[in-house]
């Protein structure tokens, strides 16, 4: 079965850049989405189709996808960006979620 691997945690200072990777076989041939999840809340879509932002998502969130790795970049990270982040892609008609990354803003 298809798998997506993420680092368990990423720490970043306020105002700095957080980079979260998501790795899977030939992931660049698929579309990747990214979700933010805060405690007690449902996942929130922050990036879709590799690099597009839904309405209302700040421009500091950006994404890319090439080769075997998709990347979520949070520029000028704010305290409100703390939470768990999950990548997701479709393998044929099966949705696969990444293992999740906890982002801590120190």
Partner 1 sequence: QLQLQESGPGLVKPSETLSLTCTVSGGSITSSDYSWGWIRQPPGKGLEWIGNIYYSGITYYNPSLKSRVTMSVDSSKNQFSLKVNSVTAADTAVYYCARREEVMAGTLEYWGQGTLVTVSS
Continuous segment of H or E residues that includes residue 44: strand 44-47
In the bound state with partner 1, the residue whose beta carbon lies nearer, of 46 and 74, is: 46
Determine how β-strand 83-91 pairs with β-strand 101-105. Answer: antiparallel
The verdict on 93 binding partner 1 (CB under 8 A) reads yes
Rg (CA), the chain: 13
The verdict on 39 binding partner 1 (CB under 8 A) reads no
How far apart are the C-alpha atoms of 99 and 66, rounded to whole Å? 19
The verdict on 7 binding partner 1 (CB under 8 A) reads no
In the bound state with partner 1, the residue whose beta carbon lies nearer, of 26 and 49, is: 49
Do residues 43 and 35 make contact, with C-beta atoms less than 8 angstroms apart? yes
In the bound state with partner 1, the residue whose beta carbon lies nearer, of 21 and 44, is: 44
| C-alpha 51 chain-centroid distance | 10
The verdict on 99 binding partner 1 (CB under 8 A) reads yes
The verdict on 57 binding partner 1 (CB under 8 A) reads no
Residues at the contact surface with partner 1, assessed by CB under 8 A: 1, 31, 33, 35, 42-45, 48-49, 54, 86, 88, 90, 93-100
């Amino acid at each position: 079965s298809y798998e997506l691997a993420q680092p368990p945690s990423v720490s970043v200072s306020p105002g700095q850049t957080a980079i979260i990777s998501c790795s899977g076989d030939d992931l660049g041939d698929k579309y990747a989405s990214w979700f933010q999840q805060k405690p007690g809340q449902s996942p929130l879509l922050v990036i879709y189709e590799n690099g597009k932002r839904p309405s209302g998502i700040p421009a500091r969130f950006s994404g890319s996808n090439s080769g075997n790795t998709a990347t979520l970049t949070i520029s000028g990270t704010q305290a409100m960006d703390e939470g768990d982040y999950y990548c997701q892609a479709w393998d044929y008609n099966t949705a696969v979620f990444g293992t999740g990354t906890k982002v801590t803003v120190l």
